[in-house]
Amino acid sequence: MNAVAEIDTVLDPDALLMRLHEIEASFGRERATRWAPRTLDLDLLDLGGMVLPDVAIQSAWRALPPEQQSRQAPDDLILPHPRLQDRAFVLVPLVEIDPDWVHPGLMLTARQLLDRLPEAEKAPICPISPPWTGLSALVKFFQTQ
């Protein structure tokens, strides 16, 4: 299951990422191997349109081929998330809550980014109703069939 949530925070990017990692750990996540199976994976996609650590590094990581990304890990937090624009499982729910969100490096909306992906990548992603109630309308849950 994948979800995108929009939140308000006063935390700076590093503190927010640390808090997300604490939440993952409380669900049993261990960070032993990059891209290993995990109980919970919380990614920080964007924070107020910041580009971190700078435009050149964010652009370089965004352009890095997936096979290199799996072998290398950045030393610093990279915002927006460097693979956000390549992942239908991120963009489909993002478009549901904020289709006009603009990628600060590519200057394209979430809708435009999603439209650039092949239909075959988008087709298996469908909304689901979570088994609990009371969640904000800003959280949308999706599964890949």
Among candidate residues 19, 38, 83, 111, the one labeled active-site is 38
Q: Indicate which residue of 12, 14, 34, 41 is catalytic.
A: 41
Distance CA 68, CA 56 (A): 17
Catalytic residue among 29, 46, 62, 87: 29
**Beta strand residue intervals within the chain, DSSP E:** 2-5, 125-127, 139-144
Q: Is 87 annotated in the active site?
A: no
Residues 6+ apart with CB under 8 A from 107: none
**Catalytic-role residue among 14, 31, 34, 43:** 43
CA-wise closest residue to 110 among 135, 139, 136, 80: 80
Instruction: Mark whether 38 is an active-site residue.
Output: yes
Q: Under a CB-based contact definition with an 8 Å cutoff, are residues 52 and 13 in contact?
A: yes
Radius of gyration for the chain, computed over Cα atoms and rounded to the nearest angstrom:
15
Specify whether 31 is catalytic.
no
Catalogue the active-site residues.
29, 38, 41, 43
